Every structure is written in C-alpha cells, then in structure tokens.
Homo-oligomer: A and B are copies of this chain.
Amino acid sequence: MAIIMKLEYEKSIELYACMQRIRLVEEAISTRYVEQEMRCPVHLSIGQEAAAAGVCLALETRDKVFSTHRSHAHYLSKGGDLRKMLAEIYGKATGCIGGRGGSMHIMDLDVNMVASIPIVGSCIPLAVGSALADSLDGRDNVSIAYLGDASVEEGVFHESANFAKLRDLPVLFVCENNLYSVYTQLHERQPDRPITALAEAHGIPTYHCDGNNVEEVYRSTLNALKNARSNKGPSFLLLDTYRWLEHCGPNFDNDIGYRTEAEFRIWKNRDPVILYKKNLLKKGILTEEDTVELKCEIQKEITAAFDFAKNSPYPDHSTAINNVYA
C-alpha cells in the first residue's frame, strides 16, 4: 500500500512547524485559561498534533474538513487563522463565527474548515454529504471526517460508512484513537477487535498508523487521497495517539485515577513534536537554532493573536437574534 517517497525538505519543515505551532497554541490556551477570560469549554489537542498536521498538510485547500469538539489542531493545520480561532474562544465579534459557537464549533469557510460539531459522530454524515455533492458534480475534492475512538460506537458512523462505500464517495474517515472517551478506556466501551475491522466490514480500505509519527500519517493520507480522487471511494485511517491533558479543560488530570502515570509517561516519551524534531535534526533538515527561531516566531504570532482576541469587542447582545433564518 505505502508509496515509497522521500518527503521534500519544505514539507518536512512544514509538518514540524505545524505541530510546533499547535503545541504552543494549546499550551498558551492552557496557561491563560485560569484568567477566566476564555469562557467556554476547551478540548485541547496536546499530544495529538501529528494526527492533525499529517492529515491536513496532505490536503489541498479545496478539500473539506469536518471536525469534532476537539478541533483546534485540525483548524490550525488546515490553514486556519489563529486570531479568528482565539477570538472565537474568547467569545468575540472577530471570532471565526462571531462568538456564536466558541471552541466546540470552530469553522471557517475561507480554509474549508466546514464544520466542527460537539455532538459525538454528528459531523460524520455531513462529510459524506459533502463528498456526495462533489461526486455528483464531478469535482475531485475530498472530504475529511475527523472522529474520535468513541465515534465508532455511534450508529451514525456505520450508517455513514455504508453509504459512503455504497457510492464510493471521496471521503476520508480519520479516527484519532487516543484510547479514551472522557475518563473511560477503550476496552470498557468496545470489545477486543481492531477498530479498522469496523470500516473493513463495510468494504472500506483502512490504514493503521502510528498516529504520533507525522510522516507516516502524512504518507497514508496521500495514499487515501489518491484513492479518493480517482473515484475509488472512501478510506479509513486509524491513528493511535494520546491526549496529554484532561478531556475538557486546561489541566493535567492523571491524579484523578482513570489512567496511570506510567501509561501517560510512555506516551509522553512518544511526543510527536519531539520525535519529529529529533528526526529532522538527525537528518540535518533542521538545526537546533532553526527550532529555537521557529518557536520564537510562533510565540510572537501567539502573543499578537491573544492580544487581538482580548482587545476585540464582544458582539452586541442585540445581534444574538440575527441569522436564525437565511
């Protein structure tokens, strides 16, 4: 299946920079959350950067992303505007949807981040519908449905997979398996069988990657996209990864007892950002100074974006009634 391919120099740096940016943004949110100015639930993606960057950097801008409650990394990877994202989390008029949805609804048509939906599984059929429209009109866009490991427990995943395969639609199901739904482990929710078997049962080809290896994710995505663009239908990507922080909120929560410190450490040692940094340093694609400089630049962007968000006005409450009907 895998295409043998040497990544271009620029792409490698792009992948790294994207992950680093996500990491620093999420850390900044985590740090500043205590100020109580981001007044909405946040589901952070620290630890899962490769799943976002590896998939989205393989996409064209015209490809469409549908995401979940945990969407920051997807948006940033899809080329999203950090200022609009932070402003949205701050509930400001300058947010990507004017403060209407907050962190759980990040969407921005400028970069074809079509929707983020906080109801588990609810975005999946939307991606399939988007793929159906493209298929009917003969456009070779691909639609991406991000899902968590819990989403495959929702019937709507199966209904969507059945239909996507029935019509061989250009859709890519990306399952980030971080082993947990909130505080519940995978084995308490699903029997012991591979998650990929679920997609295969519908006749959908699957890829199972180390979700913390950004190049592996990137390559598998390219394969799946090729398939989709040549009318060979949907694919399913299973990415094994891990969320470092609590399910919802800015803190670590290993102390509350639903997972072990040991498990956490294993995954922390497989930090997707550091792993890839080491890789690129070894290959000589990056130097230590490059990485420091990059971090600096990103930090500058982040500081400016937070300033933008904080200084932006709240939407006027009299506008809350607008846009109920088109």
Which listed residue, B159, B165, B198, touches A154 by the CB 8 Å rule? B159
The verdict on A166 contacting B189 (CB below 8 Å), with A158-B155, A198-B201 known, is yes
| Residues 149 to 207 of chain A near chain B (Cβ within 8 Å) | 153-159, 162, 165-166, 189-193, 197-198, 200-203
Could you tell me if B201 and A191 are in contact, using CB atoms closer than 8 angstroms?
A: no
Q: How many residues on the A side are at the interface (Cβ–Cβ under 8 A)?
A: 21
Which listed residue, B153, B157, B192, B203, touches A191 by the CB 8 Å rule? B203
| Residues 73 to 120 of chain A near chain B (Cβ within 8 Å) | none
A153 and chain B: residue at smallest CB distance: B162
A156 and chain B: residue at smallest CB distance: B155
Could you tell me if B166 and A155 are in contact, using CB atoms closer than 8 angstroms?
A: no
- For the complex, what is the distance from the CA of A159 to the CA of B212, rounded to whole Å? 29
CB neighbours (8 Å) of A159 from chain B are: 153-155
Could you tell me if A192 and B203 are in contact, using CB atoms closer than 8 angstroms?
A: yes
Interchain nearest-CB distance for A57 vs B (Å): 30
Interchain nearest-CB distance for A109 vs B (Å): 29
Interchain nearest-CB distance for A309 vs B (Å): 39
A195 and chain B: residue at smallest CB distance: B201
CB neighbours (8 Å) of A190 from chain B are: 162, 166
- For the complex, what is the distance from the CA of A166 to the CA of B187, rounded to whole Å? 8
CB neighbours (8 Å) of A154 from chain B are: 155, 159
Which listed residue, B153, B156, B192, B200, touches A201 by the CB 8 Å rule? B200
CB neighbours (8 Å) of A203 from chain B are: 191-193, 197
CB neighbours (8 Å) of A162 from chain B are: 153, 190-191
- For the complex, what is the distance from the CA of A61 to the CA of B197, rounded to whole Å? 36
7 closest A-B pairs by CB? A155-B155, A201-B201, A165-B191, A193-B203, A158-B158, A197-B201, A191-B203
Contact surface of A with B, Cβ cutoff 8 Å: 153-159, 162, 165-166, 189-193, 197-198, 200-203
12 CB < 8 A contacts A-B:
A154-B155, A155-B155, A155-B156, A158-B198, A165-B193, A166-B190, A166-B191, A192-B203, A193-B202, A197-B200, A197-B203, A200-B201
